[in-house]
Amino acid sequence: MVIKLSKDFIVEKDGREFVDVVKILPEILPSGKKFSTKFLDETKVEIYIPSNGLGHDSKKFILNRFIELDDLFFEGLGLWEGEGGKGKGLYFGNSCLELILHFLEFCEQKLGIERENFKVTVNISKITKGYDCLVEISKTLKIPLTNFTNFCYDLRLNYDYSQLYINGMILLIILQSLHERIKFLLTEKIEYSVPYLRGLFAAEGSVLLKKWGTISHLDFSSNDQNYIEFLRKILSRIDIQFGKYIENGRKIQIYNRKQFQKFKELKLHCLHPEKSKKFERGFNNYKREVKKRPEMISSILSCLSDGPKTYDNLTKELMKGRSTIQSHYIPIMEKKGFVRKCGKIKQAWLFEITEKGKDFLSSLNNKNRF
C-alpha cells in the first residue's frame, strides 16, 4: 500500500529553511490508521497513533515541530541512512564513539529526543574489558549505565560496537519520511548534498590505500540499486566522477587525485576521525612533488646509500609510483652503471648503489653546493 505524503512541508524564516514535521507525516498508514498530533507549544508536538477503540494507543513521542535544514541535520540524516536500523524504531550503531556522539547531537538538537531516552547494547571485542568497558562508554556518551540493556563478547571484532535504540515505529516512519521528502533537495542544492554525503561516507564509506601509502580509491557501499542511482545523482551534482557499480562488492568507487582533491575541498571525509586521518595520510602521500629525471635519479641513489632496497622499499620512501621506478628509472640507472642487483628478498629483487653511482651522486651534491 502506497503511503500518501502531504505537500508544502518547507517553511522559510529569516532566510533559513525548516521542515514542518507534522506536514511530512503520512496521511494514512498501511494499517489504515492515522497519526494524531497535539501541539504543546509553538516548537513542540506530541505524535502518536490512536487505537481507534481497539487495544491501546501507541507510544507517544514529543518532538521538535520545526527542524532547520543545516549541516547537522543533513549529516545526521546521512549517518542514519548509512548505519541506522530500518526495522522497528530509531536505531544507530557504530564502533566509533565520536560518530555516535554526533548522531546523538542530531537527535537532541534536530529531532528533540534527549539522549537519556536511548537504550544501549554493546558488542565487546576483548574478554579482558568486561564491565569496565560499559562504564567507559556510558561516561563518553553521557547515557546512564542503567540504560545499557545487554552486552556480549564478539572476538571477531577489532573494536567495541555500540548500538543506540528507541523502539517505536513512529520514529522510524518520521525518519523515513524525512529522508524521502528531502531527496529532491539533495540533488538540487550543493549546500545540502555535501553534508549529507559527509554523514553517509562516515557511516558507509571507506578509504583504501595502495602499498606505498597513496589513496587507491574511495568507496560508498549499498546493495539497493535505487539508492545507488540516487547516490550517482548527488555525486554528479557536486561534480565528483565515479566508476561503475561493482556488483560483487556492492559499492561505487571513486578514483584519481583530481576527485580526491574535490573530496578534500568539500571535507566529505572529515566526520569520521579514523577515516579522516587515513584519507589525509593517503592524500599527502599522493600529493608528492613532481621531479625532473636528474632529481629523481639523485633521490634514488641517496635512498640506496642507506643500504639495498626493493622496488617496494623505494616506492614507499620516495612516494613515487612503483611502475615509474621499476619500468623507467631503474633500467636507465642499471644501463649507466649507477645501480645493480645484489640479491632477493623472497621474490623481490634488491638493488644497491655502485661505486660509479656513489661518484655520480657525490658530483651532484658538490655541484649543488655552489
The segment(s) of the chain belonging to CATH 1.10.10.10 are 293-369
Q: What is the pTM of this model?
A: 0.77
Residues 6+ apart with CB under 8 A from 197: 78, 234, 235, 238, 266, 268
Residue 14 zone, left/alpha/beta (φ > 0; ψ -120 to 50; rest) = left
The segment(s) of the chain belonging to CATH 3.10.28.10 are 200-286
Q: Name the CATH code of domain 200-286 (choices 3.90.930.12, 3.10.28.10, 3.30.200.20, 3.20.20.140).
A: 3.10.28.10
CA 204-1-8 angle, 5° bins? 70
According to DSSP, the residues that pair with 12 across neighbouring strands are: 17
Letter string b/e over residues 234-255, b meaning 16 or more CB atoms within 10 A of that residue's CB: bbebeebebeebeeeeebbbbe
Q: What is the pLDDT of residue 370?
A: 38
According to CATH, what is the number of the domain 293-369?
1.10.10.10
What are the distances in angstroms from CA 76 to CA 149, 200, 202? 24, 9, 10
Distance, in Å, from the CA atom of 309 to the CA atom of 210, rounded to the nearest integer, reads 19
Let me know: does 240 contact 269? Beta carbons within 8 Å: no
Q: What is the pLDDT along the chain (370 residues), one digit of tens a residue?
A: 333 444 489 998 888 999 999 999 988 888 788 899 999 998 999 999 988 766 788 899 999 999 999 999 999 999 999 999 888 899 999 999 999 999 999 999 999 999 999 999 999 988 777 788 899 999 999 999 999 998 888 888 888 999 999 999 999 999 999 999 999 899 989 999 999 999 999 999 999 998 878 899 999 988 888 889 999 999 999 999 998 888 877 889 999 888 999 999 999 999 999 999 999 999 988 655 556 788 889 999 999 998 999 999 998 888 777 888 998 899 999 999 999 999 999 889 999 999 999 999 888 776 654 3
| DSSP code, position 295 | H
